[in-house]
Amino acid sequence: RIRTENIEKNTHDNPFGAVLSFRGTVTDTTVSHPLAATVIELTDTFPVPDAKAFGVGQWWTVQVAPVEGGGRDERELQKLVEITEIVDATHVRIGYLNGWELAAGRTLTWTRVEPVRDSHVRNMVFEGAGPDEYTGSHPVSYEYAVGCDVSGIHATGTFWPVVMRRWCTRFRTEGCSLKNPPTVEYGGAGYLTQQIYCLYGRVADCTTSNVRHLNDLTASAYCTVVNCHGDGDDAGGNPFTTHGQYEHDLLFDGNSGLMDIANSGAQWGISAKRITVRRHVCSWFVANTKITDLTLEDVTVIARPTFDQAGTLTVNADGAQVRGCTAKTFAVAQRSARSTRPTTVSDCSFDLPAGGVLVQTPVTAPVHFVRCTFTGVDGAVLRGAGPVRFTDCTVTGAEDAAPLSVGSADLTIDGGRYENTGIELSAVRDQRITVTGGARLTGRNRAGALLGRVAGPGKVTWDLTGLSSTTDTTTAHVRIADGTNHYLATGNRFTGGTLHLAPGALASALHTACVEDGTKRVAMPDDGTTARTEGNLIL
């Protein structure tokens, strides 16, 4: 048990001034050189000017110069690595598969270090004292360390992170806890654990109460966070966060607490890649910066009146795969376009607020919703120009709801059921809407049309096949009264309601092989060279 009343004062902005501080030796041996060719992603072989300067088993820090035109600290590579092989006279192999491509001309700097090895801290009760960065205290820090584990530290009142790590490789932090640090507002303070430029770490079975972060991974890779739980986060930061300094290949499994990925600001690059979150519960989850190939599985976001009443889940449309998730407010954003895989949201449930933006303006990537359920829909907006597809989804509107407002250049409705909602194209650009696969539209909406458009400048192409639409006498199945439109409807069933196909709004129209059961034709073009409306079954 350690108490720290009247401890010697720390220096300014020094999270490594811990009671137990472990730091390796940084030598004056450095090698700096520009890259003659691109270093590909996921390679462990790096070019060097002269491989004789390196030895197998040595440890070096390696970092790339900041991104030109980017943030001051924006670097794709900063790691403590072991030399595992001298490949040839100008190449070495290291114990790390690079997560980001490095272009020719970028400068690498290598610095040899003698790391701390296998120095473990276990079983401690730590009671911090002091309200600020000078008088405050914390138990453990590691810098330039390999294989150093921490377990069983239970802390209260610590200022800087309970376990602070930088330039560390191969470590475990397990069974630790923190409650009630003196501040959750000061950047870098009030954490359970922070890892900067770290590799191969595992944080497991940890808990926090009333802290800024339970776990922060900055410029780190191949780390796992398992069975960790943060509460009391209404006024603090997020228990789970990454800094956005090009983290990659991180796994969060079975945790609970607010989560925010790659969102610390443009200074560090707001970038991350291949982050996977499974079986997570929280009341707010934001991952809308330059996050590539995000995978979310069984993430549950439950609105909490004391923090985020909207119960927000937001992702970046850059290869995001969202499966089996639940939230009240869901939104797709886009800040990057690095991925080769599609953005797909499948088997999820969302209870959208009135007027909520489901697909934000910058989204140009295709977004595919598969077997998702949307409830309480009232004027939800799909604003981005990118293609949007709904496959076998269920969309249910609130009472007297406005239809979905869609700005997508290409909207596909493939199967599924749409109750008391409908779709209204914004016509802010040329648009195509395809409804197929036995999609069922029922009920009514505030606009008085289950499928319609507004008087925007865009030309709209309608392709309706195999649709079943049922509504009341005051609502149109399809209402086209404005703009320029090309309309095709074949093999559809319309029950009740009206059809409003204004001749002056139709550049071409083919309406055939449809069943109109008790449907009133309010407006319909005459047959001619640009219109055909015969061959329907009218009951």
**What gap in Å lies between CA 423 and CA 314, rounded to an integer?**
23
pLDDT at 308 over 90: no
pLDDT single digits (tens) 265-275: 999 999 999 99
pLDDT at 240 over 70: yes
The domains of the chain are located at 25-114, 360-539
Closest CA to 154 of 176, 136, 180, 138: 176
pLDDT single digits (tens) 414-454: 999 999 999 999 999 999 999 999 999 999 999 999 999 99
Residue 236: what pLDDT? 67
For the domain spanning 25-114, the CATH number is 2.40.30
DSSP reduced 3-state for 247: strand
pLDDT at 337 over 80: yes
DSSP reduced 3-state for 339: coil
The answer to whether 212 and 237 are in contact (CB under 8 A) is yes
Can you say whether the dihedral through the CA atoms of 227, 274, 368, 301 is positive or negative? Answer: positive
DSSP reduced 3-state for 30: strand
Residue listed under structure tokens 């809308």: 288
How many CB atoms within 10 Å of residue 283? 24
Residues 14-18, mean pLDDT to the nearest whole number: 97
The pLDDT confidence band at residue 307, using thresholds 50, 70 and 90, is confident
Q: What percent of the chain has pLDDT over 90?
A: 96
As a whole number, the mean pLDDT across the chain is: 97
Residues 222-229, mean pLDDT to the nearest whole number: 98
pLDDT single digits (tens) 123-139: 999 999 999 999 999 99
**What gap in Å lies between CA 162 and CA 19, rounded to an integer?**
10
DSSP reduced 3-state for 133: coil
**What gap in Å lies between CA 311 and CA 285, rounded to an integer?**
8
pLDDT single digits (tens) 112-122: 999 999 999 99
